[in-house]
Every structure is written in C-alpha cells, then in structure tokens.
Amino acid sequence: MTADRSTMSCAEFQAKLPEMIASGENAASHPHIQSCELCRALLADLETIAEAARQLFPAVEPREELWEQIESAIRNDPGDKDAAGNKHTG
C-alpha cells in the first residue's frame, strides 16, 4: 500500500477536502492539488460555497468553551446569598 500523500487518489483527497476546509487547513497547498487539475477546480467550488456559507452564518461556530464560560458565570453568580443563609437579620 502506498500511503504517500502526493499519490493519494482523487476519491481519498475529496473525502478529506471538506474536513481540511472546515479546519482552516490550506488545502490549496496540498500535494494532490498541485498535480490534479480536477481537484483544484473542485476546491475552488467548495471554497466558493464555504465563503457563501460564512456570509450567511457569520456567527455560527460550535464552541464548547462558550458554554463553559456561561456555566462558570452562572456558578459564580454573586446573587446566590439565599443559599448561604436565609435568615432575616436586622
């Protein structure tokens, strides 16, 4: 089996292409693209689509970090004095 990236088949490359674009990897510099006109054209198409999608949904990014921040903000809420002691003084 030849697992060389430059001898990767079009099918193999195309299977990875969306992944590469999504992860921000520069697919245009991939060895397969350099030697394959077909995939170069496909990449151009996908980039056009990806660009259009970015414009349609500029803020859609699944971020677990964000949820962690929201969660910790809720936990650190200073307004939970009821839990500390709910007796009336004064």
Looking at the Cβ atoms of 3 and 73, the one nearer to Zn ion is: 3
**H or E segment and range at residue 38:** helix 37-56
- Cβ neighbours of residue 13 closer than 8 Å, sequence gap 6 or more: 30, 32, 33, 36, 39
Out of 17, 27, 36, 43, point to the residue binding Zn ion (CB under 5 A): 36
Number of residues that bind Zn ion (CB under 5 A): 4
At its nearest, how many Å lie between Zn ion and the CB of residue 2?
15
Q: Is residue 10 at the binding interface for Zn ion, with CB under 5 A as the rule? A: yes
Tokens of 80: 């939970």
- The contact pattern for Zn ion, residues 51-70, with x = CB under 5 A and - = no contact, is --------------------
Written as one string, the DSSP assignment of 44-88 is HHHHHHHHHHHHHSTT----HHHHHHHHHHHHT-TT-HHHH----
At its nearest, how many Å lie between Zn ion and the CB of residue 13?
5
Residues that bind Zn ion (CB under 5 A): 10, 36, 38-39
